[in-house]
């Protein structure tokens, strides 16, 4: 049947070459303007007639041809879903309990009571320094203070019995208080010869050998670290000031450990660094296994945006026109043969995450979007859909 229609079309073309009996060559050679114009009008009329006949032939071919040459595409149905966008940035692990302990007294480091790896309690003695005779001085002053106390107590009893003068009572009281202050001051000074743990933790490094002469505030003795209160510090661009806030979820990946820890932002800085236009955040991280160490590098994914009813599409289906507008093809009028008309639809995009982009406007929930084959489709063209997915 198809061959018959084609033969008919050829016969029509041959028959159209007739006319008033004058050939095109003879009319042109005559150089008669009226004859040439008449011949042109005749040809235009025949051309219109042929176009109408071609349209009828195409319609018949389309109806009779069981194998149509339609673009083959796949498609997916747009669906609303929760979209979490993450800011990816690098941070460093830190702790406020990572200190080097310096002595408060000048002298010889006579004894170190701990070694690397020891777990110590707050207030525990870690090392001691030769007191240079302070303990003997304290013992003498305590004797004098004890005598001054006894004298004051006796004078106080006499004064309460109206015996003795007031000046004797006041002198005994002043002497006792002076001796007591001297004892307290000497005890405080003697306490500086003992190096104690300011908090509970682990001895990370003993930095000075026993027997070394140490200077107050200058000679490092011991590094003490507590790994139970760890946090990550990261510098965030100021453009995220409104979206990166306290309590936001964070996924912290440690490349060295090959492990990811879920955490939250516990503190957001209130200062913008003018040199790099960033602000600082602190992210508390659990460290039950004590594997996370200070200065460890972490890759952070901070949830800075969430849309509970977002429409996401692959970035690969987006195209752009000459005006810079982005568009996709959606299909309408799907028939039983999975044929539909592809229509160009201008869209406005939002944030991207990986290979997907958020659609702000232009696509509604349930619209069927052309996926594979979208680059070869034209606006208004009929396409054959091979597969329609509900979850792209």
Please report which confidence band the pLDDT of residue 384 belongs to, taking 50, 70 and 90 as the band edges: confident
In a 13 Å sphere around the CA of 101, the CA atoms on its Cβ side amount to: 28
Dump pLDDT digits (tens) for 82-100. Answer: 999 999 999 999 988 889 9
* Fold topology of 88-96+225-306: Elongation Factor Tu (Ef-tu); domain 3 (2.40.30)
Instruction: Print burial letters for 195-216: b (CB count within 10 Å at least 16), e (below 16).
Output: bebeeebbbbebebeeeeebee
pLDDT (0 to 100) of residue 154: 84
Q: Does domain 72-82+308-389 have CATH number 2.40.420.20?
A: yes
CATH class of the structural domain 100-224: mainly beta
Please report which confidence band the pLDDT of residue 279 belongs to, taking 50, 70 and 90 as the band edges: very high
Largest CA distance in the chain: 163
Please report which confidence band the pLDDT of residue 196 belongs to, taking 50, 70 and 90 as the band edges: very high
Tokens, residue 187:
């005890």
pLDDT (0 to 100) of residue 275: 93
* 350 in Cβ contact with 357 (< 8 Å): yes
Using CA atoms, how far apart are residues 337 and 3, in angstroms rounded to an integer? 25
pLDDT (0 to 100) of residue 134: 83
SS3 300: strand
For residue 101, which of 74, 76, 128 has the smallest C-alpha distance? 128
Which residues contact residue 13 at a Cβ distance below 8 angstroms, ignoring those fewer than 6 apart? 50
Dump pLDDT digits (tens) for 237-248. Answer: 999 998 999 999
Strands 382-389 and 72-77: parallel
Distances, alpha carbon 244 to alpha carbons 15, 236, 358, 375, in Å:
79, 8, 19, 38
Q: Domain spans of the chain?
A: 2-64, 72-82+308-389, 88-96+225-306, 100-224
């Amino acid at each position: 049947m198809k061959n018959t229609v084609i033969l008919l079309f050829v016969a029509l073309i041959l028959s159209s070459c007739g006319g008033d009996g004058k050939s095109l060559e003879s009319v042109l050679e005559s150089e008669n303007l009226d004859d040439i114009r008449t011949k042109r009008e005749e040809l235009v009329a025949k051309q219109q007639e042929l176009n109408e006949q071609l349209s009828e032939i195409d319609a018949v071919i389309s109806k009779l041809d069981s194998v149509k040459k339609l673009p083959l595409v796949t498609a997916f149905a747009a669906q609303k879903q929760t979209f979490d966008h993450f800011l990816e940035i690098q941070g460093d692990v830190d702790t406020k309990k990572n200190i080097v302990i310096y002595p408060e007294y000048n002298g010889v480091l006579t004894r170190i009571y701990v070694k690397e790896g020891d777990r110590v309690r707050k207030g525990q003695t870690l090392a001691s320094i030769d007191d240079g005779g302070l303990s003997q001085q304290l013992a003498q002053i305590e004797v004098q203070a004890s005598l001054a106390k006894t004298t004051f107590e006796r004078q106080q009893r006499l004064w309460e019995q109206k015996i003795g003068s007031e000046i004797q009572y006041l002198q005994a009281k002043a002497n006792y208080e002076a001796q007591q202050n001297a004892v307290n001051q000497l005890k405080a000074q003697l306490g500086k010869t003992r190096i104690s743990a300011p908090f509970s933790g682990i001895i990370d490094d003993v930095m000075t050998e026993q027997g070394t002469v140490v200077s107050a505030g200058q000679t490092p003795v011991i590094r003490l670290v507590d790994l139970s209160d760890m946090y990550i510090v990261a510098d965030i661009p100021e453009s995220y000031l409104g979206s990166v806030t306290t309590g936001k979820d964070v996924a912290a990946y440690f490349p060295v450990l090959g492990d990811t820890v879920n955490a939250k932002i516990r503190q957001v800085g209130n200062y913008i660094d003018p040199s790099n236009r960033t602000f600082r955040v602190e992210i508390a991280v659990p460290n039950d296994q004590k594997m996370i160490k200070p200065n460890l590098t972490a890759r952070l994914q901070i949830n800075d945006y969430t849309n509970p009813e977002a429409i996401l599409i692959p970035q690969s289906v987006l195209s752009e026109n000459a005006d810079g507008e982005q568009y996709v093809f959606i299909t309408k009028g799907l028939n039983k043969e999975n044929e539909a008309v592809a229509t160009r639809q201008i869209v406005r995009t939002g944030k991207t995450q990986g290979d997907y982009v958020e659609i702000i406007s232009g696509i509604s929930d349930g619209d069927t979007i052309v996926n594979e084959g979208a680059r070869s489709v034209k606006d208004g063209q009929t396409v054959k859909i091979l597969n329609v997915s509900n979850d792209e």
